[in-house]
Amino acid sequence: MKRPSFWKLFGFGFLLLVLRKIVIACMAMYIVWQNWEDVGFERLINNPSLQTDVSQMNSNNSGLILILNKHALNMTYNWLCNTQNLAGVHENSYIVTLDQEASSALKKTWPNVKQINIVVPGLKDPFNYGDGYYQLFYLFRANLARAILHYEKSFWMIQQDTFWNDNLLKVNTKNDDDILFDRASDKGPLVAGGYYHAKPTTNSKNYFAKLAKDISWWYAPDNAYMTSLCEVSGLAKCGRLSFDLITNWQWLQGTSSGIPPKFIQFDGETKLGGKLAKMRTIGFYFLTDDNDQSTCNVTSVENTKYILESRISQWDKVASSSHKQFKMYQDIVDSFYSTRIGAAVMNHFILPYAHYCMLSM
């Protein structure tokens, strides 16, 4: 019996991966369809907690918006310890809690930090990159941005898996950009999506309305889709923050510029549970070892200066399979953006279909 050729086996394997992605996409978007009313724009703008706190946002400083459920409490406590001595940060922070347990725990441990409680039953459990509940989170975040802009407030959308070596409120946002995004690398315009600043302009409102509408039915990572909207739609003027200002998992490989980054987002990990443990391994854990989650390890925060200035690669210590896959895909994206034709293909086709193109994840 003749054995099938390598290319036939390769084609069959490729077809199986494609079919697997289609099944995952259908399952994910079915979850979004089941829960979309809980994260809808109308529900958010009518939420009393959001109405009250957003109306009280300081007009001189943009609000800092974090989102969490009970499974991200320790990560949030770690960020609060990291930033407690940065002027104005806690005073301008608004933590959006997605379940009652997170709300109660945060009020008990950090009572002075403002909280917006929006209970979303579909987002009370852990969710991981690419699954349906993560897609639901993307939709919630897009509609939350719309809701804040609806009340004519500027804001920073931020994430608590980030080390702050400086104060984000000092970043200059007084420019012509409607939205200012972080970057996934220093070689192209791909949005990272964890950090962005939005102004309450008509352009920004239209941009997030389009984003929310599309990802309510289309299976795509929001950062890739946001990049495509910026580069193709012309809905809003999108700026980019310097990659040296807010960097990401690529910092683990060691810095080449010699300048310590201001903000390091420890993303690239598809599983939520192990992220804080890896931050602890390389010196970015700022809680004491007792059960009091409001007591911070000040010495640990101070020691990060040496870690940042050492420029020692941490890749071998904490790089997971997901980090390595993201590195591979980032290298592909950067190569496409190195040519005009490649950039057009990336913006018009690959990014809107990014989840389908990342066959290994």
Domains in the chain, CATH or no CATH each? 10-360 (3.90.550.10)
pLDDT of residue 291: 66
Q: How do residues 163-198 score in pLDDT, each as one tens digit?
A: 999 999 999 998 999 999 999 888 889 999 999 999
Q: How far apart are CA 53 and CA 49, in angstroms?
A: 6
Q: Are strands 263-265 and 179-183 parallel, antiparallel or unpaired?
A: unpaired
pLDDT of residue 225: 95
Inter-residue contact 199 to 151 (CB < 8 Å): no
Q: How far apart are CA 308 and CA 302, in angstroms?
A: 11
pLDDT surpassing 70 at residue 318: no
Model confidence at 256, pLDDT cuts 50, 70, 90, reads: low
pLDDT surpassing 70 at residue 319: no
pLDDT of residue 59: 80
pLDDT of residue 229: 96
pLDDT surpassing 90 at residue 152: yes
Q: Are strands 162-164 and 263-265 parallel, antiparallel or unpaired?
A: antiparallel
DSSP 340: H
Tell which residue, 232, 207, 201, has the closest CA to residue 350.
232
Q: How do residues 112-139 score in pLDDT, each as one tens digit?
A: 999 999 999 999 998 888 899 999 999 9
Helix (H) or strand (E) holding 202: helix 202-215
Q: How far apart are CA 134 and CA 227, in angstroms?
A: 18
Q: How many CB atoms lie under 10 A from the CB of residue 299?
A: 8
